[in-house]
Structure 1
Amino acid sequence: MNPRLTGTTVGLALGITIAASLASATGAYLYSLRHSDTLIDTARRDALAQSELIRSALEHAMLEDDHALIAGMLTTFGHEPSVLNVVLLDRAGKVQATARPLAADDSLRPGSPTCQACHQYPAAQRTTSRVIDVAGTRILRTVLPIRNRAECRECHDPRHAINGVLISDIDTSPIHAAAARDLQWMVAVTALITLLLVAAIGLLVRLIVLRRLQRFETAARQIAQGDLTRRVSESGSDTIAWLAREFNVMADSVSSLVGQVQNERERLEVIINSIEDGIVVLDRQRRVVAANNAFLARTGASRNELLGCSCHRDGSAPCSVSDCPAVACLDASSTQTRICERKRADGTVAWEEVQASPVSRLPDGNVHVVEVWRDISERRAAEARMAESHKLASLGLLASGFSHELNTPLGTVLACVEGIGRETADDTATPDWAYVRETALTAREQVLRCRGITQQFLRMSRGAPSTPQLVDVQDAVATAMRLVAPTARERGVRLAQRGTTTLRLRVKADESELQHALINLMLNAVQASPPDGVVDVEIQSGPAVRVAITDAGGGIAQEHLAHIFEPFFSMRPGGTGLGLFMSINAVRRWGGDITVRSGLGAGSTFSITLPVVDDTAAAIPA
């Protein structure tokens, strides 16, 4: 296992180093103080012994009353290497003899600072020697009294106990220098010992603790990466071995819980994916957290592409509603429902209901939204059919009564018109009678047309199917154009037929219904065209006959094209919205259809397409 410089290793090494250094430094400091005191005590004992020797020699010389001997002895003792000076004072503090001349500021009177170092204490607390500062130099001063013994009383007053004082000053600089040298050596040796101790402790900690703890780290990392069978060796009976056993117990529990969570997650995914409605979970930033297969199929993206992406990826939203249900749900913290329109891959339109519900605030403080997308196209179509049925039921009741009431006067008018036609059948030589006959025939056609319309309303109201018959398309178009021509002339619009053919195109349909559809489309084109406009009527042959009626109007907006054939929808003031609805239903009953192509400012083209009856087509002159 390769060593790694981790925070624990660095902290442990620094802690051991600092602790060992502090302990060593404290020990060295205390030892240096003790060693310095020991050297001073040794010097004090030596100085005291030397002063006793000098005092004994001086007392002997004083008894001999040999002043030269006294001065010589002081000079001899004062020139020792460590002795700064030896001074003899009488009992009044006056200098009687000295080894070296005294400096001008070296006062030995009791009131001087150097003397107060001892005289500031009571006599019982004074010592024979003390370290004092004299002219910036630390010296060891030893003071010994010269007592007034019996043999001295011949010359000195016997009432006095002390005849004088012997002062010996010793330089302590060599002592402090030696102590400093010893301290340096001790610091160096202590530092070396500290480094060796730290290295030894670090090696022991690494071998006994860190290397074993790294096994925990390796095992935890591998468990986090998915290896749930990874465990730590439990050999030993120390604390780390106990920790390894507890770690393995925890790993077993975690592995069991992870297995349970995975099983529950798989069950939940199976349940969610079995739902036909699209389900997606969004976070507060509307990023996809989870989605089922139905939602993925709806978006056409894979799970990896969708997860983590915003629902407005690539700048386009998956729904067409301007009021986003997820945003409204997050703002209101309540369930929101919206209806949106979506185009399928095959171009058809699907209607979907979006229900966004907030998820309770999670432990990490985040809020999620669950959106359920349900295709309601069939339901919407069923609702539309139901509404249409209700409208048609009402219309059927009105049409039944209206047609019944209208048929009686129409029958009377038809009888009168036919009578006029019969009466004028033999008087066609006169132009006036010819005009009357032509007018009567036109009136008869219109009455028959009205009667056919009322019959159609009656059939619609009763649900009775119309009778199929072979209808000549060219004749039906010509009849419709002739009936619409008066209205076109009144509005200043011209009807023009294009696309003549030598074939008689016949279809299987109800003639009145087909004429009614053609008339409705032509009237709409005439009403949409401006004055001096042209309405083109084109017949195209093929497997299916196509009659295209093109106007020169302003066109139809795209949002209205999807509703143009719905009942009661009209863009013309006063329109009922039933003409196109009845026309397309009639055409579709015979296997055809009505389509529209339009654009704003480009006019509109309505086309009726019906299958041609092949066995009735013949090459005859048009």
Structure 2
Amino acid sequence: MRIPLIAKLTFATSLILLVFMGVLDTINLKNFRKVMIDYASSNAEEVADIINQSTYDAMLKNDKSSLYHMIGRIAKSENINHIRLIDQAGKVVYSSEIGEIGSVIGKHTDACIMCHSSDGPGISAGSLNRSRIMADRSGKKTLGYTKAIYNQPDCYTASCHFHGKDDVVLGLLDISISLETLRQKLHEYRMQFIMVTCLLLVMSGLLVTILTHYLVDIPVQRLVRHSAQVATGNLDSRVPVTSRDELGELSESVNRMTESLGEADKELMEWADSLEHKVDERTREIKRMEEQLRRSEKLASLGTLAAGVAHEINNPLTGIMLYASILNSDKRLDPALLPDVERVISETGRCADIVKDLLEFSRESSPKKEVVTLHAILDDVVTFFHKQPDFSAIDIRKKYDVTLPQVTVDPNLIRGVFINLIINAGHAMPDGGSLEIATCLSPDGAHVCVAFKDSGTGISEENLSRIFDPFFTTKPSGTGLGLAISYGIIENHGGKIEVKSREGEGTTFVVMLPVSG
């Protein structure tokens, strides 16, 4: 899966910022917690000093009632869990929690563990004031603060006291302060920091996305689109240079490379055009020589054929014409036979015209052209073949373009070409089939096209290249002149014949004649 560059940069920047803010959050929370605990310890020490000062007179007078009353009032202050007095023997002589009064504090309790730890040398209670973090009965964090009550001269010289001069510490003042407020402040600070971090992540991600889009993504996309244009062959494409940084230098370099490619391609195209022009000239020259040679051979063959036709066919045709004319003028002729006799006279005359046209073609004579509609000639030819027994199993379909323009041709010669093509189609379908005759205008509008498409046996690729050669035939009784003569007739009309065929799939002959005018 393709991940966009802008997404990678945004993710990397956000990840770095997240790690940085996480480390900063950890350090800040640790420092903030230390400051708050120090502040709570300072408050606890102030409370202890206030208690000492407030109860000083009561302790000198051994006025326990006033002493306990004042300590109890102070214990009701906000965030103070309890206050208790512990004597030298560890006995709780007073506590804001009544149930503790009279109980003995062990050496391993929170208030005594530091002085009586078995892991090291003992520490005198009078040598320091101690604070500690512990949990109360409900599991909430509290700050415990223990302050030594020293034996002062006012104490051991008073008449009401029993303390000797050698006693250094008379007892302990143990204060427990709730850290719930501290915990809440830490939680609020952390939530604020998280919100600030999230806001910074969103803002930095948005900023990186916008900057990357305009400074990196857009120039890169321009380069990508330019590369796609060059890949399609458009060497005129250029990348807009909108900055003077590395991407701008890259764009200028790509433009120079594209310009060099364009110049090289132009030189190559000019050289290719020149070479193609020279090859085309040589090819046309060779084709002209080949056509001239083929034309000479064909004319020589047709000249020989014309001489034989003149001697062998003209005389029988003249006899047929003469006797048919006599028969037509005989009044004893059955009227039912009169159309057939007239058809014989007409077709014999057309045969004579074809022989004469063949002789003229062999002598390079010009056809007798007139402006005609090819559909009329085709209809006449199709009507003729509908009456032929050999075509009874062949379905001849016409597909005409009704907008087909007229052409200037020799009707008799063109009719002969059409007849020859239909006869060849019939020979390719001895068991019957279909023949489609379609007309249309060429795409350039310069030629009228007539296509004869049969469903016959087709022509092999080897024979396809020789199909218009004089005397080439694949039929046992054929002369091989039909298509050669047809080719010459169409060529003399300024047109051409094309053939498409595949063995076993039928054949299509396309006759193209220039439009009149």
What is the TM-score when the length of structure 1 is the normalising length? 0.39
What is the TM-score when the length of structure 2 is the normalising length? 0.47
Report 1 or 2 for greater relative contact order, CA contacts < 8 Å, sequence distance ≥ 6: 2
